[in-house]
Amino acid sequence: MIRTLMISAVSATALVLSATAFAQQGGTAQEARAMLDKAVAAVKADETLALIMFTKGEGGFKDRDLYPFCFRVADRKALATPLAVHAGTDVTTLKDATGKIYGQELYAAAQKPEGQITEVSYEFPRPGTTTPPVPKVSFVTRVGDLGCGVGYYK
């Protein structure tokens, strides 16, 4: 009887801890899409403030490994990203570890009619790491003269 109770207690603890660990992992596709919708609304309300919040990860625009990014369509320059290394970069030159120039796909997605969402797949390191890159999908759309997206890791 005691052995059965101990096994049950250990099993329950393991289940709770694994659920907690799973919940603390990266954001989901649905959460990324919801953040993109929130980011689009913020850009439409006050572009300057939205870009500042995106870069700083404020206002709920940084959640685990989810964050918005934006670039100006006219000059293709990254404007808002919490990844300082990409600030001011021509997005069409971005390539992943496999050599795929995914930046051209980001830019092409921003050429589509405003509100149309395009999924762009590539490999990218999780925030705070440099290797190994993992599969990532970004939802990208045009908002006025900006291309904006939010990605999640698979």
On whether residue 19 sits in a domain, the answer given is no
Count of domains observed in the chain: 1
On whether residue 56 sits in a domain, the answer given is yes
Boundaries of domain holding 70:
26-153
On whether residue 9 sits in a domain, the answer given is no
Return d(Cα 133, Cα 26) in angstroms, integer.
Answer: 14
On whether residue 146 sits in a domain, the answer given is yes
Note the pTM of the prediction, 2 decimals. Answer: 0.81
Instruction: Using DSSP, state whether 145 is helix, strand or coil.
Output: coil
Cis preceding linkage at 68, omega within 30? no
pLDDT digits (tens, 9 = 90+) for 13-69: 333 333 333 334 899 999 999 999 999 999 999 999 999 999 999 999 999 999 999
∠ CA 19-60-148 to the nearest 5 degrees?
Answer: 110
Q: What are phi and psi of 109, to 5 degrees?
A: -65, -35
Assign residue 137 the CATH number of its domain: 3.30.450.20
Compute the chain's Rg from CA coordinates: 19
On whether residue 3 sits in a domain, the answer given is no
On whether residue 97 sits in a domain, the answer given is yes
- pLDDT of 5 reads 35
